[in-house]
Structure 1
Amino acid sequence: MRIRTRRRSAAALGVVAAVLLTTACSTGSLSGSDDSGSGEGSGAASDITVGEIGVQGDIQDISAFCGDEDITVALADGFGGNSWRKITRAIFEAEAAKCDNITKVLYTDAQNDTQKAISDINSLVAQGADVIVTFVDGGEALLPTIQKATEAGVAVVPFVGSPGGTPGKDYVDFVSEDITTYGRNLADWTIEKMGGAGNLVMLGGIAGNSYSQGVFDGVVEAVEAHPDVTLLNEDGPVATDWEPGKTQQVVAGLITKYGDIDGIVADYGGGSVGGIRAFEAAGKPFPVWSANDSNEFACLWYEYKDTQPTYQIATESSRNWVVSVALHKGLAAANGLPNDEPSIYNLEIIEDSTDPDKQPQCEADLPADAILSSGLSVEELKALFQ
Structure 2
Amino acid sequence: MRNTSPRPGRRLRAAALACAAVLVAAGCAKSEENAAAPQPEGTQGAQVVATPTGTSGSTCSLEQFGGEKFDLKNAVVGFSQSEKEANPFRIAETQSIRDEAAKLGIDELRVTNAQSQFSKQITDVQQLIAQGAQLLVIAPLNSDGWEPVLQQAAEKKIPIITIDRKINAEPCKDYLTFIGSDFYEQGKRAADQMIEALGGKGKVAILLGAPGNNVTTERTNGFKDRVKEKAPDIEISFEQTGEFAREKGQQVTEQLIQSNPDINGIYAENDEMALGAVTALKGAGKEPGEIKIVSVDGTRSAVQAIVDGWIHAVVESNPRFGPLAFETAQKFLDGEPIPDTVIISDREYDSSNAESSLSQAY
TM-score for the superposition, normalised by structure 2: 0.74
* Residue matched to 2:157: 153
Partner of 1:94: 99
Is 1:159–1:174's contact at 8 Å kept on the other side of the alignment?
A: yes
Shift of 1:272: 1.8
Tell me the equivalent position of 2:115: 111
1:85 counterpart letter in structure 2: R
Kindly provide the CA deviation profile for residues 5-48 of structure 1, in whole angstroms up to 9, marking residues without a partner as x. Answer: 37xxxxxxxxxxxxxxxxxxxxxxx534xxxxxxxxx644xxxx
- Unaligned stretches of 5+ in structure 1? 7-29, 33-41, 45-65, 306-310, 367-371, 375-386
**Which amino acid is 1:248 matched to?**
Q
Q: Following TM superposition, by how much is the alpha carbon of 1:362 offset from its aligned partner in structure 2, in angstroms?
A: 6.9
Q: Which residue of 1 aligns with 2:59?
A: 2
Give the CA deviation at 1:205: 3.1
Does residue 300 in structure 1 map to residue 305 in structure 2? Answer: yes
Q: CA deviation at 1:140?
A: 1.5
**Cα separation, partners in 2 of 1:144 and 1:198, compared to 1, 3 Å:** farther
Conserved? CA contact 2:192–2:226, under 8 Å: yes
Letter in 1 for 2:321: V
Q: What's 1:322 paired with?
A: 321
Match of 1:170 in 2: 174
What do residues 51-103 of structure 1 show as CA deviations (whole Å, max 9, x unaligned)?
Answer: xxxxxxxxxxxxxxx94661111211121332210111111000001222x22
Give the % identical residues: 23
Indicate yes or no: 2:179 matched with 1:180: no
Q: How far apart, in 2, do the equivalents of 1:362 and 1:250 lie?
A: 30
Any gaps of 5 or more consecutive residues in structure 2?
A: 1-57
- TM-score where L is the length of structure 1: 0.70
Q: Which residue is 2:34 aligned to?
A: none
Return the offset for 1:317: 2.4
Preserved CA contact (<8 Å) 1:132 1:330:
no
Q: Deviations over 1:157-206 (max 9, x none)?
A: 11111112222222110011111011111112212211211121222333
Does the Cα contact within 8 Å between 2:189 and 2:315 map onto a contact in 1?
Answer: no
Matching residue of 1:352: 350
The AA in structure 2 aligned to 1:31 is F
Partners of 1:295 and 1:361 within 8 A in 2: no
Q: Classify the secondary structure of the residue corresponding to 1:264.
A: strand
Give yes or no for contact 2:164–2:180 (8 Å, CA) kept in 1. Answer: yes
How many residue pairs get matched? 299
2:306 corresponds to which letter in structure 1? W
- Aligned partners of 1:78 and 1:109 also within 8 Å: yes
* Structure 2 CA distance for aligned equivalents of residues 314 and 152 of structure 1: 46
Match for residue 31 of structure 1 among 43, 65, 68: 65
**CA separation of 1:123/1:312 partners in 2, compared to 1, >3 Å: closer, same or farther?**
closer
2:134 to 130, 133, 136: 130
* Residue 287 (str. 1) matches residue 291 (str. 2): yes
Query: Helix, strand or coil: the match of 1:98?
Result: helix
Structure 1 pair 329–146 and aligned structure 2 pair: CA distance change class (3 A): farther
The answer to whether the Cα contact below 8 Å between 2:303 and 2:361 also exists between their aligned partners in 1 is no
**CA–CA distance in structure 2, aligned partners of residues 90 and 184 of structure 1:** 29
Q: Provide the secondary structure at the position in 2 that maps to 1:97.
A: helix
CA separation of 1:150/1:232 partners in 2, compared to 1, >3 Å: closer, same or farther? farther
How far off its partner does 1:337 sit? 4.2
Structure 2 CA distance for aligned equivalents of residues 161 and 89 of structure 1 = 14
Partners of 1:159 and 1:249 in 2: how far apart? 29
Deviation at 1:243, TM superposition (A): 2.6
Q: Residue type of the partner of 2:112?
A: T
Are 2:59 and 2:338, in contact at CA under 8 Å, matched by a contact in 1? Answer: no
Q: CA RMSD in A?
A: 2.6
Kindly indicate whether the alpha-carbon contact (under 8 Å) linking 1:318 and 1:373 is maintained by their aligned counterparts in 2: no
Q: Quick check: 218-227 or 292-301, which moved more?
A: 292-301
CA contact 1:199–1:231 (8 Å) conserved in 2: yes
Partners of 1:202 and 1:326 in 2: how far apart? 32
Which structure has the bigger radius of gyration? 1
Note the alpha carbon deviations across 1:295-332, whole angstroms, 9 max, x for none.
222223333x3xxxxx5512222301234322332344
Task: Give the residue type in structure 1 aligned to 2:350.
Answer: D
Mapped partners of 2:298, 2:152: distance in 1 = 36
In the alignment, the residues of structure 1 paired with residue 73 and residue 185 of structure 2 have an alpha-carbon distance, to the nearest angstrom, of 39
CA drift at 1:147 = 4.4
